[in-house]
Amino acid sequence: MAIEAIHTKGGANGKSLKLIYADDGLRASGSIGYQRDNEEDAIKSLIDRGAVMMIGGYSSANTIHMANLAEKFSIPFLVTTAADNQITQRKLKNVYRLNVPAEEYAGGLEKLLNKEIKPKTIAIMYEASRYGTDAAARMISFCHDNGIKMAKLIPYQKDRVNASYLKKRLRRIQQNPPDVVYMVSYLEDAVLLVNTIRRMDINSWMIGAGGGFADSRFIGLLGNSANGVLTASLWSPQLPYPGAQDYYNEYVELYSEAPDYHGAEAYSAVFVVTDVLERAETLNPKGIRKALNDTDLETPFGQVRFRSDAKYKRQNSAPTVVFQVANSAFELIWPENIATAALSNPVKMPGL
């Protein structure tokens, strides 16, 4: 979609832009079938086919390795989704990130928790991965700073996940449910977690830290069981960004489903790349890095500028929003000035 839109407007300085693809396999280190050279082969194949810049990165564990390889092969790499804080905390001059780091995902949720839900106890259930640990650590810090009691901290191992395993982990909070169960998971685990909590009659607010909970497929896989779940997100078409609503409408028309923030990130990344290549004095790594450093662009994902400070290097910033599932749809409930619906107590929602 982005390439078509760019070419309709004349391309990049009158030249066509071509996307070429490589698959890293999305298998974390230690999983069945994993080969440590998956990412290296993928990156080499892109370079061999003439790539001057890379975009992508979903799983944080894989993306950290790809970031090191981008540095090794001196190819600028714009990360679009992987959230591990470390990705832009390293001295990797070729690595830039469009999305915010994991510790910033819950910004909107934290404001909502303080103003509306006001929990006294929170349990955190999280995948024991880089992404999961970073997001859990942020919520632990938030609870500590705001006098919220940590009911339970429940990490889980991705490669052991099934309904029985999660049920055993969740028994820690079944007898005395906390006000909030905060979860950090990708899509399959997010669906299984919500279903398991429903079956165990744990009547707590269920909140997801983005990831699988904001995936466009989440509601379809859960049906009515998704109603009431809250989730952080990095994007909504209601946000006042140029082209955001147009992107949403076109996506729905093409694919008959709503895009989530991952799609908005990827779509906008191509416009960032186009802007960079148009401004770059040369298409070698040094020229592209200079153009990336000078980026100041309005996109459907919001303003894109890469900051470098004491904590992060070449990192973009973006506000976070909060959705609640109601009537089998994501409703924007925060921030209040652009909300499409009011927050509802999930325990009292019809159909649950």
Domains along the sequence of the chain with CATH:
2-102+239-304 (3.40.50.2300), 104-238+320-348 (3.40.50.2300)
Are the CB atoms for 236 and 301 separated by under 8 Å?
no
Alpha helices in the chain (DSSP H): 2-8, 38-48, 60-73, 107-112, 130-145, 163-174, 187-199, 218-222, 244-255, 261-279, 285-293
> Tell me: the pLDDT tens digits for 118-154?
999 999 999 998 889 988 999 999 999 999 999 999 9
Residue 57 identity (one-letter amino acid) = G
pLDDT, tens digit (0-9, with 9 covering 90-100), for 45-93: 999 999 999 999 988 888 998 999 999 999 999 999 999 999 999 889 9
Distance from chain centroid for Cα 95:
17
| Helices 60-73/38-48 angle, 10° precision | 50
Question: Are 298 and 272 contacting, i.e. CB atoms less than 8 angstroms apart?
Answer: no
Q: Which long-range contacts (CB under 8 A, 24 or more apart) does 285-291 make?
A: 285/74, 285/75, 285/76, 285/94, 288/52, 288/53, 288/76, 289/76, 289/93, 289/94
Residue with tokens 């909030």: 180
pLDDT classification of 328: cutoffs 50, 70, 90: confident
